[in-house]
Amino acid sequence: MDRYAVFGNPIAHSKSPVIHARFAEQTGQALRYEARLAPLGGFAEAVAAFRAEGGRGANVTVPFKLDAFALADRRSARAEAAGAANTLLFDERGILADNTDGVGLVRDLAQLGCVLDGARVLLLGAGGAARGALLPLLAEAPSSLTIANRTPEKALALAQQFQPEGRACALAGCGFDGLAGGTFDVVINATSSSLSDDVPPLPQGIYAPGALAYDMMYGRDETSFIAAARALGAARVSDGLGMLVEQAAESFFLWRGVRPDTLPVRAALREAIAQS
């Protein structure tokens, strides 16, 4: 039976084994998927041991996405753009690194009925999560994409790096204080602020009528970002649970060549979290 795993530290909380078990059952794929705790500073050795045991591929979560990128012999365009990898494929040519986070985000937004074509998009944060989202977001042809970060220089550098060639999208970077007077159709929180119940300092009027506020974080209860977005007038809100399932489906497709139906898995996971 083919073996796959997710590497992280910590890792016991990971939903990936449940998600991929459901994908495998649904698609009739014979595989075993497990969570593996890699020691800090020992990611490469942990991956090598798993490969020696017959591992065919892996997901990678915090704090090893940069290590996964560095470890690879080959990298997809998505991984190159993000500078990080969350998916590894092991084959006769070595290790292929990919990043499925951004496409997972875009597919979740589509499931929510969010049309990015022509939209004014605000992306909060300039770290790895934001980097992974940029190319897939730009591919959807928003009219503008603004990156805002506590450190304006990081947002400006990211905007300069990803300036779209041959696209009409206006890409800009700024600090949070540079958002005054701006209005957006989609606001995506790619910071980790919700993990500490913090909230990016967004001004009044940031949400256009009908706007969606999206937090990449998720949990049983509403995140601090979503609660603040409601208070600022966001018409629609969503956490990142759907993104988690959609990025996993893209990894599954890379490994197995079969694309699972994510909707029943999303619903089952949401119910399980609500009951936890």
CA-closest candidate to residue 251, choices 4, 2, 37: 4
Is 14 assigned a ligand-binding role in the annotation? Answer: yes
73 has binding-site annotation: no
Is 251 labelled as part of a ligand binding site? no
Q: Are strands 94-98 and 144-149 parallel, antiparallel or unpaired?
A: unpaired
99 is in an annotated binding site: no
- Annotated ligand binding at 133? The verdict is no
Q: Which of 20, 22, 56, 65 is catalytic?
A: 65
H helices present in the chain, as ranges: 16-27, 43-52, 65-71, 77-82, 101-111, 128-139, 152-161, 224-231, 241-256, 262-275
How would you classify the pairing of strands 94-98 and 87-91? antiparallel
65 is an active site residue = yes
Q: Report whether 129 belongs to an annotated binding site.
A: yes
Q: Is 126 known as a binding-site position? A: yes
Output b/e per residue, 47-79; b: 16+ Cβ within 10 A.
beebbeeebbbbbbbeebbebbbebbeebbebb
240 annotated to bind ligand: yes
154 is in an annotated binding site: yes
Q: List the catalytic residues.
A: 65
* Residues flagged as binding site for shikimate: 14-16, 61, 86, 101, 218, 247
What residues are designated binding site? 14-16, 61, 86, 101, 125-129, 149-154, 216, 218, 240, 247
